[in-house]
Structure 1
Amino acid sequence: MGFFSTHASGTLDPPEVRNWRIHLIALVASMSALAMGYDTAVIGGTMALDSFRRDFHLDEVSSTTRDTIQGNIVSTFQAGCFFGALFTFPIAEKFGRRKTVMLAGTVFLIGGTLMTAASGNLNLIYAGRAIAGLGIGASSLTVPVYIAETAPPSIRGRLVGIFEIASQGGGMLGFWINWIVPLGIQLVPGLGLALGMIWCPESPRWLARGDHFDSAERILTQIRGLPADHEYIRREMNDIRTQVEQRTSQRMTKKQMFQKLFQKGIRNRMGLGMALMFLQSFTGA
């Protein structure tokens, strides 16, 4: 229990909140990052395989056409990620983080299945890559928020960091395991995400924003491992209520929310996150 229960010096978090349950929730949710890293990395080596070039008749076309096909295979996934992330926010706000991540995992599984069953059909590869990208884009937007909203403050950075570590780990797996088997392996983290989220609870902060404070408190007691009358639970529930009241009384327009991204402090955090993702892509993964 040492790793999970060590009390964080300088914080008000009791050791009980640093439990195996909250770490497991972060690990399950981070399956989306593992799938993202793997799918991004594996496709380059897969397209270079003799079996892939043979089954999809890439050796029978000109080099220009082959380059175009390979570029389309790569870009359809990125396009799916873009639109998945772009349109997911209102879904996550209305239906909750947990249901949104489960939906994203299911969408990714559909895309991965289409790719694995393509058997020489490039259209299925394109469709599978685009659909899988939608799922990954949706989960990459929602999962870090879900982890942050369920984690206690003292280990929030560690738990959100699992998402990035899983992404890099998936990328390494994609390079090390270089058409049916490499593409089929991506179903494992997708299945883990879709099924694992059935066990994971909803974000208590999202529930509170919908005026479901009793449900939020019940989930907090479960994931913190503390009784409802514990001082820590009461304090966190008060913080959540205050945050919800502030959000309700100080509603911002979309323009104001966009401008807030560039405020000092938030700007630095956003820039750091974007820089990390840029450097990951810059490695060629």
Structure 2
Amino acid sequence: MTLLALKEDRPTPKAVYNWRVYMCAAVASFAACMIGYDSAFIGTTLALPSFTEEFDFASYSPSGLALLQANIVSVYQAGAFFGSLFAYVTSHFLGRRKSLFIFTVVFSIGAGIMLAANKERGMAPILAGRVLAGIGVGGCSNMVPIYISELSPPAVRGRLVGIYELGWQIGGLVGFWINYGVNTTLAPTRSQWLIPFAVQLIPSGLLLIGAVWLKESPRWLFANGKKKEAMEVLCWVRNLPPTDTYIIDEVRAIESDIERFEREVGKGFWKPFQALKQRKVQWRFLLGGLLFMFQNGSGINAINYYSPKVFRSIGIVGTNTGFLTTGIFGVVKTVLTVVWLLWLVDLAGRRRMLFIGATGGSLCMWFIGAYIKIADPESKQGDGDLTPGGIAAVFFFYLWTAFYTPSWNGTPWVINSEMFDLNTRSLGQASAAANNWFWNFLISRFTPQMFLKMEYGVYFFFASLMILSIIFIFFFVPETKSIPLEAMDRLFEIKPVHSANKILMAELQLENENHDVGNLSGSSSTDEKRGKNHFQQTETV
């Protein structure tokens, strides 16, 4: 198979894989650049000498400083938790595109408020601005995966949702390197630490401009009775006429799915909440939350937010050295995200990568923790030269990054964006995003205290959670790659879980073959007439 080989659920015209669907995903993923940058730059900014002097960090006790840093970081996650829930409301009434625009505006306002902070005003503008910025990114983290998944052909859905993760990593890459840049090129003044805060406004501004061009999700339009507009958007994004068999089949599947859920669940703002009474719906909500619990339990956000502290624990000293090591960490993550995006997510699949990432990542964490326990490098820091053991620990840290990035970094977002049915997709994604930010908040809030109390035990803690995630994935999470969104209910009903994807793909291919045989038994013009009649009916609605 070639690098970009696709596994399709049915014959798909080449026109479907056009620039429009990729461009929509790329523009929407500027939101991920906002999130990635904001997650990455704050940790190293808190370590900038100009920032620590401006706000007199030297006057705090170790525990008091740990609490202050934790609060600065974690109010962002607290805001994001609520923003991801607010997005369910706006998404239901206004749609995916308008919701994305609204939360980007909220983020931009928050980023602007942070720029007002100084020695006289204190930390209040930064804390208030980070709450608003958090609400903005929380809403965007809910909307973008849904929006992209509802636009995507099944064969490239993982790849397109993966663009969201790539945007996250590009933003993070800039965030990790920017403080190295300002620390080496600018004098330690207020302007030095203000620049990293101001850069937040660049991706949000680009998204606000791009949102003018974006189209609404056709599935949301169909579900809200806007059939003519939905057909226009669907034909535009697929680059096919409304009479094409592929469009006819896709519309039939979408409308059948809508009718089924209106019959079984009902239509309206509160109906999806009533669907939570169903065990199958509860189960998927639980799976989504646990995926993000294990993602955050890998230790990634402890590293993202407190990278200088993490590298200092394995013996790396000096502001610039710490920033440089953190920047290389960002480069490794970004490069491996591209590999995951182009190949692994849709070819290797979701489950296999999660298995490999958790196994390799856990082994690396055990080694790092054991090294810190035996060598205690932080208490022996002198001229900054690493021992052979320290060099090995740094190597295993980057090896952990290589295991984690193409697996647990973006795959939980992909699975959550595709495993919910149409009527519960927005609520399900709101739940998943809220879970992500809830676990993210816990890690960011208590990591400084964990390092003070547990020391090397922090790494053993994360390693143990990664082992538990292997068991969880094997028994409970089916492979979702190449499965149409409308067939996800069937996927989660098939047992055993590890064979569900293979069984369902065989069923779908058999159905398609039977459908083709039925088409051949009629005249060659039947589908075209049916397509024209369907399009005419949608125009008159």
Q: Deviations over 1:164-189 (max 9, x none)?
A: 22223322322222221111112111
Q: What secondary structure does 2:298 align onto?
A: helix
Q: Deviations over 1:28-59 (max 9, x none)?
A: 11111121111111111101111112333334
1:80-95 pair list within 5 angstroms: 80-95=79-94
Residue 155 of structure 1: how far off its partner (Å): 0.9
Contact 2:8 2:154 in 1 (8 A): no
Q: Is 1:143 the counterpart of 2:144 in the alignment?
A: yes
What code does the residue aligned with 1:22 have? V
TM-score of the aligned structures, taking structure 1 as reference length: 0.89
Contact 1:226 1:233 in 2 (8 A): yes
Which residue in the other structure is 1:231 paired with?
245
Which residue in the other structure is 1:33 paired with?
32
2:197 to 176, 180, 183: 183
Which residue in the other structure is 1:78 paired with?
77
1:146-165 pair list within 5 angstroms: 146-165=147-166
Q: What secondary structure does 2:107 align onto?
A: helix
Residue 241 of structure 1: how far off its partner (Å): 0.9
Q: What secondary structure does 1:199 align onto?
A: coil
Which residue in the other structure is 1:113 paired with?
112
Q: 1:73 to 1:13 in 2, by over 3 A?
A: same
Contact 2:9 2:154 in 1 (8 A): no
What code does the residue aligned with 1:93 have? H
Which residue in the other structure is 1:214 paired with?
228
What code does the residue aligned with 2:174 have? L
Residue 221 of structure 1: how far off its partner (Å): 1.0
TM-score of the aligned structures, taking structure 2 as reference length: 0.49
Which residue in the other structure is 2:51 paired with?
52
In 2: Cα distance, 1:44 partner to 1:225 partner: 44
Percent of pairs with identical residues: 38
Q: What secondary structure does 1:229 align onto?
A: coil
In 2: Cα distance, 1:175 partner to 1:127 partner: 23
Q: Deviations over 1:84-108 (max 9, x none)?
A: 1122212111110000001111111
What code does the residue aligned with 1:106 have? V
Residue 263 of structure 1: how far off its partner (Å): 3.8
Q: 1:203 to 1:14 in 2, by over 3 A?
A: same
Residue 278 of structure 1: how far off its partner (Å): 4.5
Contact 1:261 1:270 in 2 (8 A): no
Residue 219 of structure 1: how far off its partner (Å): 0.3
Q: Deviations over 1:174-208 (max 9, x none)?
A: 22222211111121111122221111000111111
Which residue in the other structure is 1:281 paired with?
300
Residue 253 of structure 1: how far off its partner (Å): 5.6
Q: 1:268 to 1:13 in 2, by over 3 A?
A: farther
Structure 2 stretches of 5 or more lacking a match?
Answer: 180-192, 266-270, 305-541
Contact 1:7 1:13 in 2 (8 A): no
What code does the residue aligned with 1:39 have? D
In 2: Cα distance, 1:253 partner to 1:92 partner: 13
Residue 148 of structure 1: how far off its partner (Å): 0.5
Q: 1:49 to 1:88 in 2, by over 3 A?
A: same
Q: What secondary structure does 1:228 align onto?
A: coil
What code does the residue aligned with 1:133 have? G
What code does the residue aligned with 1:119 have? N
Q: What secondary structure does 1:202 align onto?
A: coil
Q: Is 1:170 the counterpart of 2:190 in the alignment?
A: no
Residue 117 of structure 1: how far off its partner (Å): 3.3
Which residue in the other structure is 2:208 paired with?
194
Q: Is 1:130 the counterpart of 2:135 in the alignment?
A: no
Residue 79 of structure 1: how far off its partner (Å): 0.6
Which residue in the other structure is 2:273 paired with?
254
In 2: Cα distance, 1:89 partner to 1:42 partner: 28
Q: What secondary structure does 2:220 align onto?
A: helix
Q: Which has the higher contact order (CA 8 A, sep 6+)?
A: 1
Q: How many positions carry a matched residue from both structures?
A: 282
What code does the residue aligned with 2:81 have? F
What code does the residue aligned with 2:106 have? V
Q: What secondary structure does 1:148 align onto?
A: helix
Contact 2:42 2:73 in 1 (8 A): yes
Structure 1 stretches of 5 or more lacking a match?
Answer: none
In 1: Cα distance, 2:8 partner to 2:226 partner: 32
